[in-house]
Chains A and B, each alone.
Chain A
């Protein structure tokens, strides 16, 4: 907030400099001017603030409030039950399973999906024929909506009649076919396969952008110094790509915590809860069973997990990338 907003004759040499904290005993004129600047800033922010308040902050606070009630969603919550919804949450095998499945997805993403995306990015960063076509093809699934992806793969992995089983049968690998989404022990693997198909292109694009910002000279210098391909990758590319990697990991984890659409369309969390995520459980209780209080508790838990993760990640992992951002309290930034 600088004072350049308004042509203010009195600002003189101070124009363009951020207002310093008012020293004790400042002149009343300066203080009045500061107040008017402050008011100007607030009036510019007001529309956005009001929208944020009404559409983001109030619903969050209301969910937090409703989580302490047994509430069916009709009228206002009135049956206060303290923390019962939260203790029930920790006893609910489905919710505990959700947490476990979330962890599985995060680990699988970090160990398989992102390295795969990185490998593709490095590959497509080389000079090769049809490079743009490949990039576009690999990115295309990300543009599809979750619902379309879900319906599509629901058909592909239909037992016996689906494309997957037909192709496997056609090349004599019937044994590898299976019940895919219908088999409790296979559903998470199948789901992860679909998620990888859909999202690796997005991460690949992030990495490509990161790779292109690495100066060629550095790699050339390493080459002249006699570094082999792996050493150049390990010693030059990877460290310089680290900020992009950190952001991509962040997006991937948050995405896993909030996963809903794809699961809902393909399996609705089934069979027998084996692919259910926190968001699916919340939907079941909120919109199918009308136990809105309990559903609020689930959403508060989801919010809490995301928030703690986001803050911790920013504080400890992204610190160097985001110097001066909200969590460090160092102000100014530099």
Chain B
């Protein structure tokens, strides 16, 4: 067994060393607060771009920024989407956020702002941030103050299979709700599944209800309902009834209640493999369709959510969201400089060309070549109203209740009235 005393001493030495190491490490962490003795500032940048080519493009941009600012080091921390969300939850509880961090804006960002953890950027970004696409900045405005800078913006609309539409004799994409229902009926009579939906994940179903509410009540009224925490108005019940009208046609693929979104048997793959004619999805739909299924290439088209006859919302009001960056309260000037660099026309052109995001800087629009994304971009530029994804715009409890009760409506266990009531109930409870 050797000499137990020696090995115990060895253990003690090792643990002491480990302890010292920890202290040293945490010391390093503290340094990122703001410059160190050598005069360089390290800014920590947390993002969720773990997939290629985005990962490399972003790293290259950080290198370029470092080359231009020799006294600044950018430390990139990349986490997968869900891991990032849970890590952030823990960080928020500890009260200390990274210098630059990914945000979707809306209710979650508001919670962080309310906790006093996020830097207000209005004054520090004046001048250069004014030129960014207005609709892209919308999600990061909280009480009319700027808390984030976008790098991506998109919207939800119908992605359709041109060949299947032709087969069913639908020559032009429907622009009204009744025209849309007619198209669904025409597709069904040709034995084509009109719509694919990921019922298991709930959020894709929420898109229908949210858009219908916007078309019936108008984007401003949806905002007002959220502010007043009251969704029981007749417009919201009407939105639920319209959705019921659609689901009564049984337009979704077989087993949609159990379908996921991006798995090989999920919503995106069903459309990408030509087994359903449409899906209501964001600007990333073509990429995921090609990844989870075969993809339709030029056979895929896009049209905005149709207008509802007699509704107050225009067809030009968009529902969507994007991605942006926020800064922790008291972040160094270098972090603001980095946001400015990242939102410059040159950087944005690079992002649009290589990573498939939509431009937030008007000067970068020339980099957009994909016809579908160009038509999404046209919609966004002409937008007369904007609503962020409900599960991000609202406090988490309310957003999840919207998803949950709309899913119940689609499963046939809640009525349109009950959906409006249960959302209102949770909104009122959530202070």
- Chain A: residues with CB nearer than 8 A to chain B? 72-75, 154-155, 158-162, 179-184, 187, 267-268, 270-273, 284, 287-291
With both chains docked as a complex, state the minimum distance between the C-beta of B408 and any C-beta of chain A, in angstroms: 5
Closest to A275 in B: B258
Closest to B401 in A: A289
Which of B6-14, B249-257, B277-285, B367-375 forms part of the interface with chain A? B249-257
Contact assessment for B93 and A181 in the assembled complex, using a CB-CB cutoff below 8 Å: no
- Chain B: residues with CB nearer than 8 A to chain A? 86, 89, 92-93, 111, 115, 199-202, 254-260, 263-265, 395-397, 400-401, 407-408, 411, 413
Contact assessment for B264 and A155 in the assembled complex, using a CB-CB cutoff below 8 Å: yes
Q: Would you call the interface of chain A mostly helix, strand, loop, or mixed?
A: loop
Q: A73-B93, A74-B92 are in contact. Are A154 and B263 (CB under 8 A)?
A: yes
Closest to A285 in B: B397
- Tell which of B258, B264, B395 touches A181, judged by Cβ atoms closer than 8 Å: B258
Contact assessment for A284 and B400 in the assembled complex, using a CB-CB cutoff below 8 Å: yes
When distances are taken between beta carbons in the complex, the residues of chain B under 8 Å from A270 are 199-200, 202, 257-258, 407
- Tell which of B92, B111, B201, B255 touches A158, judged by Cβ atoms closer than 8 Å: B255
With both chains docked as a complex, state the minimum distance between the C-beta of B418 and any C-beta of chain A, in angstroms: 12
Q: A74-B115, A158-B265, A159-B255 are in contact. Are A271 and B396 (CB under 8 A)?
A: no
Closest to B397 in A: A289
Q: A72-B111, A179-B254, A267-B200 are in contact. Are A184 and B397 (CB under 8 A)?
A: no
When distances are taken between beta carbons in the complex, the residues of chain A under 8 Å from B260 are 154
- Given contact pairs A73-B93, A74-B93, A268-B201, enumerate 18 new A-B contacts (beta carbons under 8 Å): A154-B263, A155-B265, A159-B258, A160-B254, A180-B255, A182-B199, A182-B200, A183-B255, A184-B257, A187-B258, A268-B200, A270-B258, A272-B408, A273-B408, A289-B396, A289-B397, A290-B89, A290-B396
Contact assessment for A161 and B265 in the assembled complex, using a CB-CB cutoff below 8 Å: yes
With both chains docked as a complex, state the minimum distance between the C-beta of A35 and any C-beta of chain B, in angstroms: 26
| Assembled-state Cα–Cα distance A197/B89 (Å) | 36
- Tell which of A180, A272, A273, A288 touches B396, judged by Cβ atoms closer than 8 Å: A288
| Assembled-state Cα–Cα distance A74/B395 (Å) | 13
Contact assessment for B259 and A182 in the assembled complex, using a CB-CB cutoff below 8 Å: yes
A-B contact list, 30 entries, CB within 8 Å? A74-B93, A74-B111, A74-B115, A154-B265, A158-B255, A159-B254, A159-B255, A160-B255, A179-B258, A180-B255, A181-B258, A182-B199, A182-B255, A182-B257, A184-B257, A184-B411, A267-B200, A267-B258, A268-B201, A270-B200, A270-B202, A270-B258, A271-B257, A271-B407, A272-B411, A272-B413, A273-B408, A284-B400, A287-B86, A290-B395
Contact assessment for B258 and A180 in the assembled complex, using a CB-CB cutoff below 8 Å: yes
Central interface residue in A74, A179, A268, by most chain B CB within 10 Å: A74
| Assembled-state Cα–Cα distance A72/B259 (Å) | 30
Q: A268-B200, A271-B411 are in contact. Are A182 and B256 (CB under 8 A)?
A: yes
With both chains docked as a complex, state the minimum distance between the C-beta of B183 and any C-beta of chain A, in angstroms: 24
With both chains docked as a complex, state the minimum distance between the C-beta of A16 and any C-beta of chain B, in angstroms: 24
Closest to A274 in B: B411
With both chains docked as a complex, state the minimum distance between the C-beta of A154 and any C-beta of chain B, in angstroms: 7
Q: Would you call the interface of chain B mostly helix, strand, loop, or mixed?
A: helix
| Assembled-state Cα–Cα distance A202/B397 (Å) | 39
Contact assessment for A290 and B257 in the assembled complex, using a CB-CB cutoff below 8 Å: no
| Assembled-state Cα–Cα distance A39/B411 (Å) | 63
When distances are taken between beta carbons in the complex, the residues of chain B under 8 Å from A289 are 396-397, 400-401
Contact assessment for A288 and B115 in the assembled complex, using a CB-CB cutoff below 8 Å: no
When distances are taken between beta carbons in the complex, the residues of chain A under 8 Å from B199 are 182, 270-271
Contact assessment for B93 and A75 in the assembled complex, using a CB-CB cutoff below 8 Å: yes
List the 8 closest A-B pairs by CB distance, nearest first.
A182-B258, A159-B255, A271-B257, A182-B255, A272-B411, A289-B397, A158-B265, A179-B255
| Assembled-state Cα–Cα distance A181/B255 (Å) | 8
Contact assessment for B115 and A75 in the assembled complex, using a CB-CB cutoff below 8 Å: yes
When distances are taken between beta carbons in the complex, the residues of chain B under 8 Å from A72 are 111
When distances are taken between beta carbons in the complex, the residues of chain A under 8 Å from B200 are 182, 267-268, 270-271
| Assembled-state Cα–Cα distance A159/B196 (Å) | 13
When distances are taken between beta carbons in the complex, the residues of chain A under 8 Å from B401 are 289
Central interface residue in A161, A180, A181, A284, by most chain B CB within 10 Å: A161
When distances are taken between beta carbons in the complex, the residues of chain A under 8 Å from B258 are 159, 179-183, 187, 267, 270-271
When distances are taken between beta carbons in the complex, the residues of chain B under 8 Å from A158 are 255, 265
When distances are taken between beta carbons in the complex, the residues of chain A under 8 Å from B256 are 182
Closest to A158 in B: B265
With both chains docked as a complex, state the minimum distance between the C-beta of A25 and any C-beta of chain B, in angstroms: 42
| Assembled-state Cα–Cα distance A176/B408 (Å) | 26
Closest to B95 in A: A75
When distances are taken between beta carbons in the complex, the residues of chain B under 8 Å from A184 are 257, 411
When distances are taken between beta carbons in the complex, the residues of chain A under 8 Å from B86 are 287
Closest to B412 in A: A272
With both chains docked as a complex, state the minimum distance between the C-beta of A82 and any C-beta of chain B, in angstroms: 15
| Assembled-state Cα–Cα distance A268/B201 (Å) | 8
With both chains docked as a complex, state the minimum distance between the C-beta of B56 and any C-beta of chain A, in angstroms: 29
| Assembled-state Cα–Cα distance A269/B224 (Å) | 33
With both chains docked as a complex, state the minimum distance between the C-beta of B10 and any C-beta of chain A, in angstroms: 18
Q: A74-B111, A75-B115, A158-B265 are in contact. Are A179 and B257 (CB under 8 A)?
A: yes
Closest to B403 in A: A288
Closest to A179 in B: B255
Closest to A72 in B: B111
When distances are taken between beta carbons in the complex, the residues of chain A under 8 Å from B263 are 154
Closest to B114 in A: A74
With both chains docked as a complex, state the minimum distance between the C-beta of A192 and any C-beta of chain B, in angstroms: 16
When distances are taken between beta carbons in the complex, the residues of chain B under 8 Å from A182 are 199-200, 254-259
| Assembled-state Cα–Cα distance A271/B115 (Å) | 35
Closest to A269 in B: B200
When distances are taken between beta carbons in the complex, the residues of chain B under 8 Å from A183 are 255, 257-258
Closest to A79 in B: B431
When distances are taken between beta carbons in the complex, the residues of chain B under 8 Å from A179 are 254-255, 257-258
Central interface residue in A72, A159, A272, by most chain B CB within 10 Å: A272
Contact assessment for A290 and B115 in the assembled complex, using a CB-CB cutoff below 8 Å: no
With both chains docked as a complex, state the minimum distance between the C-beta of B63 and any C-beta of chain A, in angstroms: 36
